[in-house]
Structure 1
């Protein structure tokens, strides 16, 4: 049940209307969670700037982080969105499910990323050195580590926003993980 309404373009400030127009042009819609950010004069623009900032974690790697963090935080909205985006980035349904569990046995480099990301999210950053060492041994860099942490923060923002607001999910539901 939604605790906040999902504002329409007519309900938001001129600055946020411009963001709605950009989102509609690029995505064909304004996702409900983004629209919810527009309750704030600044949050939507700030979030879009963070999400669209340059990063060494892009494409499939970014989706690994998004899927793992959303699973750890049990965010129905972000799991639905990123399951779809993960498939658009070339992951199979089975790979998406595995990544959500915190591993990627099909790719050693992504596996190290998934394992570290899960540990960071679950343990709130207090991870074993062995996981960080494995991350670097898999070919990731210090820049990648910092950008992974920023991406975890990015995804945590929307996970928490959905958890608090309960806005309707406007993407196909993500399948549940096997227990």
Structure 2
């Protein structure tokens, strides 16, 4: 059990209180993971600025990356959050479970993206040549590769933050999925 508490709005700085207000307006609540970043005067704002940056990927493509990487990093918080977000972006429960394995048999372009994201995460940045070639062959560009690495970094930050802090999951908890790796 974590001793890392989730601060309330009254326990954070004025700057972070303003961010909490924005999150409440946009999301309807402040997710525990975001609230926990507010222990720092700057971490929450910096993370949200990074996370809200413009990317060449669609919302669905971003969720492909988030799900594949969060599964590799075994982050129950992010798997739960991105399962909910993935459903909001049109993925079915079965598609989400498949994306978590780093595959998407239902869409060849998303399949290449899922495999690439999983390869980067598993190999700590050293994606396999096959996953890179498949990524390009699916129509992604060198610019897409740069954007994908940034998105992988973004989700890895939240994966690591949750794995370290173990703040309570405030989304419906994602189904456990055991993946055999070679």
The TM-score by the shorter chain falls in which range? over 0.9
Cα deviation for residue 178 of structure 1 reads: 5.0
Correspondences of 1:77-92 after superposition (within 5 Å): 77-92=77-92
Instruction: String of CA shifts for 1:16-57, please: whole Å, max 9, x gaps.
Output: 001000000000000000000000000000000000000012
Equivalenced residues, count = 179
Aligned to 1:3, the other structure's residue is in SS state coil
**2:115 counterpart residue number:** 115
Could you tell me how far apart the structure 2 residues matched to 1:163 and 1:125 are? 19
After TM superposition, the score normalised by the length of structure 2 is 0.96
Could you tell me how far apart the structure 1 residues matched to 2:25 and 2:128 are? 43
Cα deviation for residue 128 of structure 1 reads: 2.2
Pairing 1:104–2:114 present = no
Which gives a bigger RCO, structure 1 or 2 (Cα 8 Å, sep 6+)? 1
Q: Which runs of 5+ in 2 are unaligned?
A: none
Aligned to 1:71, the other structure's residue is in SS state helix
Aligned to 1:46, the other structure's residue is in SS state helix
**2:59 counterpart residue number:** 59
**2:3 counterpart residue number:** 3
Correspondences of 1:15-164 after superposition (within 5 Å): 15-164=15-164
Q: Which runs of 5+ in 1 are unaligned?
A: none
Deviates more, 1:9-18 or 1:120-129: 120-129
Deviates more, 1:67-76 or 1:120-129: 120-129
Could you tell me how far apart the structure 2 residues matched to 1:50 and 1:23 are? 15
Cα deviation for residue 133 of structure 1 reads: 1.1
Could you tell me how far apart the structure 1 residues matched to 2:173 and 2:128 are? 34
Quote the RMSD (CA, aligned, Å).
Answer: 0.9
Structure 1 segments, 4+ long, off by >3 Å, are: none
